[in-house]
Amino acid sequence: MPVDDVVRGARLAVDVGSVRVGLAASDPDGLVATPVDTLARDTPGRKERRTPTDVARIVDEVRERGAAVVYVGLPRHLSGAEGAASAAARAYAVGLAQAVAPVPVRLVDERMSTVTAHQALQASGRSGRRHRQVVDQAAAVVILQYALDAERATGRRPGEPVDVDRSQHERPAHGETAGDGRATVE
């Protein structure tokens, strides 16, 4: 079975921020995305060789839920170009992929997820001051719902697979193909 085919199992989505990480999950059939938690971002020093606590929590969720895939939001500029936030999300995704292997991790476009999450929270009557506590997990829900909708529409996993064997600096440029012939950016 090709790696992009959809198989039954919960899906997780991660919204990576510099301070917090939002986490969302779906049911095993991939019907509904629900918020799970907002995790404090743990960035160990360069000399420390421990798993960050936020990554460890995601690993626990992957195992407990029997997740079939983890989607990580890839922030891009409206033009589609990538910046510093994209590089940080890619690096986080590589570390996460190493921690949850053999469960695949895929990067999906999340250009408007935080804006959409803020709008949904405001529409629900939540005050702006209380948004910060849940906006990251709401953004993860938006990312996951996008991925679930794309799975249903195409029968394939959306996004770019994270290859833990290659560094982010070695990845092909936008529109080029990986060694297996698949486009790296979808």
Is 131 part of a structural domain of the chain? yes
The domain total for the chain is: 1
In a domain, 127, yes or no: yes
The per-residue pLDDT for 98 is 96
Q: In this structure, is residue 41 part of a structural domain?
A: yes
Euclidean distance between the first and the last CA atom of the chain, given in angstroms as a whole number:
20
Q: What is the mean pLDDT of the chain?
A: 81
Q: How far apart are CA 71 and CA 94, in angstroms?
A: 12
Task: Tell me, yes or no, whether 2 lies in a domain.
Answer: no
Quick: pLDDT tens for 136-152.
Answer: 888 899 899 999 999 99
Q: In a 10 Å sphere around its CB, with 0-12 CB exposed, 13-18 middle and 19+ buried, how is residue 111 labelled? A: middle
Instruction: Report if residue 152 sits inside a domain.
Output: yes
Q: Please give the backbone phi and psi of residue 69, each rounded to the nearest 5 degrees, phi first.
A: -160, 155
State pLDDT tens for residues 99-134: 999 999 999 988 755 555 455 655 655 555 555 667
Tens of pLDDT, residues 65-111: 999 999 999 998 778 888 898 999 999 999 999 999 999 999 998 87
Residues spanned by the domain of 15: 11-160
CATH of the domain at 136: 3.30.420.140
How far apart CA 181 and CA 162 sit, in angstroms, is 15
φ, ψ for residue 55, nearest 5 deg: -65, -40
Domain presence at residue 65: yes
